[in-house]
Structure 1
Amino acid sequence: MTNFLETPEGPDWLHDAINSLICGDNVTAPRAHGKTVALVTPQSLYEALAEHLGAQEHIAPLLTDNREYPIEQMICEVIADGRRVHGKAYDLALKALGEPKCEHHPTALHDVAEALIRPHANEYGRARAEEIAHDLAADQAEQQKADAA
């Protein structure tokens, strides 16, 4: 299978997945028989963000081992809502994160989210292809039943 991110659907999926993850939603892949599977969870974003913040030279590492990551959750919420809602808090969150490494990302949080999601793109692509194939087979079977009747 080709690299899913090189398909026409891939970049749009990655963009939407990054934004969904930042907004607190799981990044999921479909399953042929209904239930989706989580590829990346907000908790993993908070953990990665904690590591990212710890690597920033201008921020002292946190001294506690807090598995709920309230600071990281707050930063994600502020960035998800944007400058219009949070004003100076948004600017401070950006300053805390540092500059984004990818020029097309508005924040370093988008870099962190993409790094978590990108390895799962082909898994999503395969799952999506299986879902489409399953739906097509079901439609064809239904059409054959209708033709036979």
Structure 2
Amino acid sequence: MTMRPENGMIRRLTTDLVYTPSVFVAVAGVWIAATPLVVDNPGRYPAWNDIATGLSLTAVGALRVLAPRRTAVLGLVSVLLGGWLVAAPFVLDYAVLLGVAWNDIVIGVLVVMFAGVGALAGAARRSPPRTGRGRTEGSSRGDSTTTDPEPRN
């Protein structure tokens, strides 16, 4: 006999898997937006990129926390923004500024991971529970609920 989690427990788990990464994305956005304020000598550093990306991540993360069902596509937007943070030091040519570049890369990788988990959990939450063909929801071994055409003796 296998233990099956109740629907309430599954719903709670997927809710936590949507909210927690979204909160992290919002906080990471605040950190990225504040990065230009703490950089001593920005040099060739395009601060506008971190400000724009950070504010976008903050807004997307906050929207995902406030309305996770209606903003599912924003999980993918967060993944793309995190990917941009990883690529930006090379595309915008500030990879030689190691502190700023590594900050963007590490936060970008974390955003991709957390936002990916949140997006997958949101997709799992929206899909209905699957049951196999010929099985009822309570059937654990795949026993068919139909009667045999020929009775066994």
Q: Which has the higher contact order (CA 8 A, sep 6+)?
A: 1
TM-score by length of 2: 0.30
More strand by share: 1
Greater C-alpha radius of gyration: 2
TM-score by length of 1: 0.31
